[in-house]
Amino acid sequence: MFRNIPPILNAKQLLDQSIRRTKKIQIHDREKRFEIKKIVIARTVAFITDLLSQLESYVKNFPSIDRLPLFYQEIIDIKIDTNKLKKSLGAVDWARKTVEMVYMTQSSSLTKSGNVEFLKQKQKEIYGRVSSIVKQVDKNLVFLANAQKILRTFPDIEDIPTVVIAGYPNVGKSSLIRQLSAAKPEIAQYPFTTKQIFVGHMEKMVRYEKKRYQIIDTPGLLDRPLSERNKIERQAIAALRHLADLIVFIFDPSETSGYQMNDQTLMLENIQKLFTDVPFLIVENKVDIKDTGSANRKISCITGEGIEELRKEILSILN
Ligand SMILES: Nc1nc2c(ncn2[C@@H]2O[C@H](COP(=O)(O)OP(=O)(O)OP(=O)(O)O)[C@@H](O)[C@H]2O)c(=O)[nH]1
Ligand SMILES: [Mg+2]
């Protein structure tokens, strides 16, 4: 989704690139004086127009945040900071307009003059002014380049029926995604292995047509108020809030995850209070270690027990 943004250079790289490009411009005239004049003018114009088109493309090609789906808006605020992002885009746009103004007010004095020394002096002056404008927004360009790097790591979310897997850390959420889809999120025996949203897909034949579903892995959540949640946990909450048509909540009754059932139960209750209009499917994982005998669905991501039944149940709820 965010892979097509052109690379954003910092001030020095941008100025160096534009100067390098203009050096290639050569013009021949039988009269040396005219030749120099034409070259100076052509290079100055090319330098500025190249810069202008770069600056314009940075702002124009950046996704307009307010028009993105709400999930992305929230993830951008968590991982990048929407305010700073808007300020940086504004600053780069200011630089473009200011460079344009310099060009409009100065370029006529270039064409009017026949004096080569004066022309060269004028060219130096314009380069100096334009460079100082671009350097003023260097930190904004660096911020945008970094934001762009972060955007590229975002998962591609489609507008199709979606199940979000949630639960305490280390209970087997990523293991379940691996069982139910072709996605291969990292699995490890320590908490907080998953640090961002991961997307897998499931399919079902509906009247001779293949229907696709999304299954979303989230970072583990602890039972605490939203205001105390870190950026990794807040991504899980954003996925639950904006993407879930069904929430599969995973318990680990074996407590080999390192978290007690008491705490896991409290968290489920709190999450249920937050998302009252989404159906919940409560699942106990690691039944190969511990079977509680409760009425909840039981699975094992190690032996595969209960996985196919769970898949069917998820697909029948999602429809
Ligand atoms: N015995 C047993 N171990 C399991 C089962 N499912 C997962 N595990 C193990 O539990 C540990 C955590 O699994 P993950 O899938 O990484 O758990 P997670 O919930 O995604 O963890 P975070 O991303 O850190 O929140 C790993 O060592 C898994 O091998 C299961 O059904 N039985
Ligand atoms: Mg995980």
Q: Are residues 146 and 167 in the same domain?
A: no
The region of weakest confidence among 114-123, 161-170, 255-264 is: 114-123
Is 3 within a domain? no
Q: Are residues 201 and 135 in the same domain?
A: no
Which ligand is the nearest neighbour of the Cα of 176?
A: 1
Q: At which of 98, 117, 152 does a domain end?
A: 152
Q: Whose CA is nearest to atom 11 of ligand 1?
A: 189
More confident residue, 33 or 51: 51
pLDDT band at 6 (very low <50, low <70, confident <90, very high): confident
Q: Are residues 118 and 211 in the same domain?
A: no
- Please choose from 165, 170, 310 the residue to mutate so as to test ligand 1's pocket, defined by most ligand atoms within 8 A of CB: 170
pLDDT band at 107 (very low <50, low <70, confident <90, very high): confident
> CATH number of the domain that 69 lies in?
1.20.120.1190
Is 5 within a domain? no
What pLDDT shows up at residue 148? Answer: 93
Q: Contact, 311 vs 202, CB < 8 A?
A: yes
What pLDDT shows up at residue 270? Answer: 94
Is 6 within a domain? no
Q: Are residues 181 and 105 in the same domain?
A: no
Q: Are residues 130 and 37 in the same domain?
A: yes
Which ligand is the nearest neighbour of the Cα of 185?
A: 2
Tokens describing residue 73: 């808006």
Is 1 within a domain? no
Output the CA 212–ligand 2 centroid distance in Å.
Answer: 23
Which ligand is the nearest neighbour of the Cα of 187?
A: 1
Ligand 1 atom nearest the C-alpha of 256 is: 10
What pLDDT shows up at residue 43? Answer: 94
Q: Are residues 298 and 171 in the same domain?
A: yes
The CA distance from 100 to 142, in Å, is 22
The CA distance from 87 to 81, in Å, is 10
The CA distance from 255 to 188, in Å, is 15
Q: Are residues 71 and 42 in the same domain?
A: yes
Q: Contact, 167 vs 264, CB < 8 A?
A: yes
Ligand 1 atom nearest the C-alpha of 178 is: 15
- Please choose from 175, 235, 249 the residue to mutate so as to test ligand 1's pocket, defined by most ligand atoms within 8 A of CB: 175
Is 215 within a domain? yes
Output the CA 284–ligand 1 centroid distance in Å.
Answer: 12
Q: Whose CA is nearest to atom 13 of ligand 1?
A: 172
The region of weakest confidence among 48-52, 106-110, 194-198, 222-226 is: 106-110
Q: At which of 103, 133, 152 does a domain end?
A: 152
> Per-residue pLDDT for 34 more than 80?
yes
Q: Are residues 304 and 270 in the same domain?
A: yes
Q: Are residues 241 and 286 in the same domain?
A: yes
Output the CA 304–ligand 1 centroid distance in Å.
Answer: 13
Q: Are residues 111 and 70 in the same domain?
A: yes
> Per-residue pLDDT for 19 more than 90?
yes
Q: Contact, 210 vs 203, CB < 8 A?
A: yes
Q: What is the mean pLDDT of the chain?
A: 94
* Host domain of residue 212: 162-318
Output the CA 200–ligand 1 centroid distance in Å.
Answer: 17
Q: How many domains are there within the chain?
A: 2
Q: Are residues 135 and 167 in the same domain?
A: no
Task: List ligand 1's pocket residues with C-beta within 6 A.
Answer: 169-175, 187-189, 191-194, 219-220, 285-286, 288-289, 300-302
> Per-residue pLDDT for 59 more than 90?
yes
Q: Tell me: the pLDDT tens digits for 243-278?
A: 999 999 999 999 999 999 999 999 999 999 999 999
Q: Contact, 209 vs 169, CB < 8 A?
A: no
User: pLDDT over 70 for what percent of the chain?
Assistant: 100
The CA distance from 232 to 274, in Å, is 18
SS3 169: coil
Q: Whose CA is nearest to atom 7 of ligand 1?
A: 172
Q: Are residues 130 and 56 in the same domain?
A: yes
Q: At which of 92, 127, 152 does a domain end?
A: 152
- Report the run of H or E that residue 207 belongs to, with start and end: none
Q: Whose CA is nearest to atom 27 of ligand 1?
A: 189
Is 303 within a domain? yes
Cα distances (Å, whole numbers) of residue 45 to 103, 108, 160, 199: 8, 11, 49, 48
What pLDDT shows up at residue 240? Answer: 97
What pLDDT shows up at residue 241? Answer: 96
Tokens describing residue 159: 């507008």
- State the burial class of residue 317 (Cβ atoms within 10 Å of its Cβ: 0-12, 13-18, 19+): middle
Output the CA 191–ligand 2 centroid distance in Å.
Answer: 8
Is 146 within a domain? yes
Is 133 within a domain? yes
> Per-residue pLDDT for 55 more than 90?
yes
Residues in CB range of 103: below 8 A, 6 or more apart: 48, 52, 126, 130
Q: Do β-strands 280-284 and 246-251 pair in parallel, antiparallel, or remain unpaired?
A: parallel
More confident residue, 78 or 34: 78
> CATH number of the domain that 309 lies in?
3.40.50.300
What pLDDT shows up at residue 191? Answer: 92
The angle formed by the CA atoms of residues 128, 133 and 136, to the nearest 5 degrees, is 125
Output the CA 171–ligand 1 centroid distance in Å.
Answer: 5
